Structure 1
Amino acid sequence: MLARAAADFYWMGRYLERTEHTARLLEYQLTRLVDTPADQLALGWRVVYTTLGHPVPQVPTDADEAEVFLIADAYTLAGTLVEDETNPNSMISCWSRARENARQLRPWLPVRVWTCLNQGFMWIRDCDFARAWAEGPAELALEAIDRLHLLVGVVDAMMSRDDAWRFMELGRLVERLQHQAVLLDTWVRAGQPSNGPRLSWSDLLRVCRAYELYRRRRSIQVRRESAIGFLVRNPELPRSLRFAVHRIEQLLSGIDPRGARYPLAPPHRMAIRLAASVEMDPGNENQAPGDELDSFTALLRDSRQLHDLIMATYVNYPVERGLPS
């Protein structure tokens, strides 16, 4: 596969996953607008913006933080993350970039995959945000999630398991790993004991679509250490860190021309290192509260290095060296 095509598939997967991540965080926050205290809403918006890497609105020196995030301003805060084309991480910007990557890949993509992605982009492009907000603030985010899940299902049903599919899946899972590491780090920091508002660990499980599975596998009562460990190491949960790193390792084993034979390609070695660190460090129930932060920071750093290694090995390699063989 051409390096340019591999990069387009990889980034297409990353942008689609980023769009869903934004939609899930918005759905969590917007369903709480009616009956949640202002200071709790303020903390929620801060977590959403911090997790997405978006600058938080400046708080005037004479204003309380909660005043910046009052319900009346939720429309603007949500709109920035949905329809603001000047924001590179907004849902419409990420969907547009995924579509542009897919447009370059038309010869490799099944027609139905392109059609489904294009219809999703046109839906969000033509969406009347004000009208959608009036009908129900969280409904637009839920509709976006449903459309993205439909696209993932079409990809799963129609694409052959070749390198095109592997690079797309690799992009999705690298993006998921990075975002989940940031989300867990942000939630743990915001959930540390204080006199102010605190986040619910049940809500974190719901954001990660893990609440029902947690209740079946662990307990009806959600405990902090148990919830963190579940989101880190449960092998059955699609948004656990363990699930992501092991799938990344499998995909890189298929992409690497040497397969699982030594010496492994640099991204494959880094994926194995990440898998080992997930098994050993973050979410260990023997850790003191707050000790997970160093582990999540290291995991995020290594996942970014993994991205750099993927680009250097399969996309931006020197012409005279060529692909590994």
Structure 2
Amino acid sequence: MTQQIPLLARYAESLFWMARYMERLENLARLVDVTQTFESPGLENEAWDSLIRIYANETHFAETHDGLEPDAVKRYYVLERQNPNSIISSIEAARMNARTLRPLISTEMWKHLNVFHRDLLQIAEHELQGDNLSRLCSRIKEGVQAHTGITEGTLFRDQGWHFYEMGRLIERADQTTRLLDIKFHRMLPKGSEDRRHEERTQWGGVLRAVAGYHAFRRIAPVEFLPQHVAGFLLTDPCFPRSVLLCLSQTEWHLTQLRTSYGLRGTRTALEQIEDMRAALLDRSAEQIISIGLHDFLDGMQRDLIGLAASVGDAFFRDWKPSLQQAQSQSQSTAQP
């Protein structure tokens, strides 16, 4: 059978956002786990403040909390529904989209997401403390990875699959740039002794936060420098979470939608990807750092927001990003 059934815009939108929320869920679990593991005695507040900055939640957190306490930040990112980036908010948004997608997704995907959702709703306060938090984060990461595996093995490879993958890849690239932006400037070593300490601990924590430590060590020199980490996360062509690879794969999915399904509206997004790739490859990591890594990553994040908007404008029902969505890339319209 070769007949292709047209994909409704609301289904394309829900697939895109379900993938984004699940990817965000795993990334947040990694960041919470790594933040606790590598927080320095006496500097706990600074470590957890970095997490707030990664998700651009400084204003919202200050409005809803009296002070910056590690326990408050942990609860904010795990249990609080008023935080659109929290683990609870993300899994509920993912399930809401999955409910819209019942005619498209497999029974296995739906069952697993429901069980996973129910499991996370039962998180207790004591699980946010000490080793319990690490075990909780591992459980969350494994739950998302199980979802990814089930999706890989059961989701029909039609137009919907391409929208699902684009959502996952754009979210992944965005999370990588945010992590690198905040962590790089907070951990630049100030001397030779600081350099050795950072290489052994904090830079390893950054790489573990993106599940890239072992991959990086396979290709990095023994005495690696911060620019080696930045270059790996930005432009490595083989690392699944590098910005360059995420953009290249997004480009492939857009091309497939145009050539295999005759979908118009991909031109703007494809041109944006070409511009972003040129920005990544025209300079070395050392040159990017010398002229200003923060400004470069800030521009890359804006470009990723623009790329998502181009996909939404072309294929979804009503893409109207608000200020909050520009900061955290939350879903633009409520799903039925």
Structure 1 letter corresponding to 2:53: T
Q: Counterparts in 2 of 1:74-153, with a 5 A limit?
A: 74-131=70-127, 133=129, 136-153=132-149
The question of whether the paired residues in 1 share the 8 Å contact of 2:266 and 2:311 is answered with no
Cα distance in 2, alignment partners of residues 10 and 262 from structure 1: 18
Give the 3 Å change call, closer, same or farther, for CA 2–126 of structure 1 in structure 2. same
Q: Residue 314 of structure 1 corresponds to which residue in structure 2?
A: 315
Deviation for aligned residue 1:176:
1.2
TM-score by length of 1: 0.84
Cα distance in 1, alignment partners of residues 275 and 261 from structure 2: 17
Cα distance in 2, alignment partners of residues 225 and 135 from structure 1: 32
Structure 1 letter corresponding to 2:13: A
> In structure 1, which of residues 34, 55, 58 is the aligned counterpart of residue 58 of structure 2?
55
The question of whether the paired residues in 2 share the 8 Å contact of 1:253 and 1:259 is answered with no
Deviation for aligned residue 1:277:
1.9
Q: Residue 206 of structure 1 corresponds to which residue in structure 2?
A: 208
Deviation for aligned residue 1:25:
0.6
Q: Residue 242 of structure 1 corresponds to which residue in structure 2?
A: 244
Please state if 1:301 is matched with 2:305.
no
The question of whether the paired residues in 2 share the 8 Å contact of 1:20 and 1:148 is answered with yes
Structure 1 letter corresponding to 2:156: S
Q: Any idea what SS the aligned residue of 1:256 has?
A: helix
Deviation sequence 1:247-305 (CA, Å, 0-9, x none): 11011111225779999521122122222222224x52244546222221221111111
Give the 3 Å change call, closer, same or farther, for CA 289–225 of structure 1 in structure 2. same
Q: Any idea what SS the aligned residue of 1:285 has?
A: helix
Gaps of 5+ in 1: 60-67, 319-325
Q: Counterparts in 2 of 1:24-43, with a 5 A limit?
A: 24-32=30-38, 36-39=40-43, 41-43=44-46
The question of whether the paired residues in 2 share the 8 Å contact of 1:166 and 1:255 is answered with yes
Q: Residue 256 of structure 1 corresponds to which residue in structure 2?
A: 258
Deviates more, 1:183-192 or 1:208-217: 183-192
Q: Residue 46 of structure 1 corresponds to which residue in structure 2?
A: 49
How many residues in Structure 1 have an aligned counterpart in Structure 2?
302
Deviates more, 1:146-155 or 1:174-183: 174-183
Q: Residue 182 of structure 1 corresponds to which residue in structure 2?
A: 178
Cα distance in 2, alignment partners of residues 191 and 8 from structure 1: 38
Deviates more, 1:241-250 or 1:256-265: 256-265
Cα distance in 2, alignment partners of residues 247 and 316 from structure 1: 24
Bigger helix share = 2
Alpha-carbon RMSD across the aligned residues, in angstroms, is 2.8
Cα distance in 2, alignment partners of residues 49 and 135 from structure 1: 21
Cα distance in 2, alignment partners of residues 147 and 276 from structure 1: 36
Deviates more, 1:45-54 or 1:212-221: 212-221
Structure 2 letter corresponding to 1:146: E
Cα distance in 2, alignment partners of residues 18 and 79 from structure 1: 17
TM-score by length of 2: 0.82
The question of whether the paired residues in 2 share the 8 Å contact of 1:233 and 1:278 is answered with yes
Cα distance in 1, alignment partners of residues 300 and 125 from structure 2: 36
Cα distance in 1, alignment partners of residues 251 and 90 from structure 2: 26
Q: Residue 331 of structure 2 corresponds to which residue in structure 1?
A: none
Gaps of 5+ in 2: 1-6, 320-336
Deviates more, 1:256-265 or 1:290-299: 256-265
Deviation sequence 1:33-75 (CA, Å, 0-9, x none): 5xx2222x2222121111122227659xxxxxxxx65xxx433
Cα distance in 2, alignment partners of residues 304 and 157 from structure 1: 29
Give the 3 Å change call, closer, same or farther, for CA 132–285 of structure 1 in structure 2. closer
Q: Residue 19 of structure 2 corresponds to which residue in structure 1?
A: 13
Q: Counterparts in 2 of 1:276-287, with a 5 A limit?
A: 276-281=278-283, 284-287=285-288
Deviation for aligned residue 1:132:
5.8
Q: Any idea what SS the aligned residue of 2:286 has?
A: coil
The question of whether the paired residues in 1 share the 8 Å contact of 2:127 and 2:136 is answered with no
Cα distance in 1, alignment partners of residues 280 and 19 from structure 2: 23
Cα distance in 1, alignment partners of residues 292 and 311 from structure 2: 30
Structure 1 letter corresponding to 2:84: P
Please state if 1:265 is matched with 2:261.
no
Structure 1 letter corresponding to 2:42: A
Deviation for aligned residue 1:136:
2.0
